[in-house]
């Protein structure tokens, strides 16, 4: 992914997508470049329009369903019942904490 990102940065900067530019960007980021991976990215992107590739990718991504599945309706009451004791315990803890200050507040 870092090689593709470096290639896109090179293209965004108006430079050619070649091994020299990709390695220069990666070196500036402090990343060691694998020459085999760099050459693979260069060969895959050779002669292709980056804007068209991005547009194609967006179309493909829009067809993929995303987001969480809706929760089952039967699970909600059980979750609410499980939360009730926690809420009661929290209220009791808050009441205990109020006693700890012996009636004096921080700014009283």
* Mean pLDDT (whole number) for 46-55: 89
Number of H helices and number of E strands within the chain? 5, 0
Model confidence at 83, pLDDT cuts 50, 70, 90, reads low
* Span 39-50, average pLDDT: 90
pTM of the model as a whole: 0.54
Residue-level pLDDT at 63: 86
Place of tokens 């804007």: 51
Lookup result for tokens 């090689």: 3
Q: Do residues 42 and 19 make contact, with C-beta atoms less than 8 angstroms apart?
A: yes
Rounded CA-CA distance 25/2 in Å is 10
Evaluated on CA atoms 28, 29, 30, 31, the torsion sign reads negative
- Reported CATH class of domain 2-61: mainly alpha
Whether the CB-CB separation of 44 and 34 falls below 8 Å is answered with no
Parse the chain into domains and list their residue ranges: 2-61
Please check whether residue 22 is in contact with residue 40, taking contact to mean a CB–CB distance below 8 angstroms.
no
CB 44 within 8 A of CB 32: no
């Amino acid at each position: 992914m870092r090689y593709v990102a470096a290639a896109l940065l090179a293209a965004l900067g108006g430079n050619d997508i070649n091994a020299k530019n990709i390695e220069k960007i990666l070196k500036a980021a402090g990343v060691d470049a694998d020459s085999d991976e760099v050459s693979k990215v260069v060969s895959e992107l050779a002669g292709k329009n980056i804007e068209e590739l991005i547009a194609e990718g967006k179309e493909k991504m829009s067809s993929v369903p995303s987001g969480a599945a809706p929760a089952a309706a039967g699970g909600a009451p059980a979750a609410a019942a499980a939360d009730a004791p926690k809420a009661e315990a929290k209220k009791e803890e808050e009441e205990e904490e109020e006693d700890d200050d012996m009636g004096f507040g921080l700014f009283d």
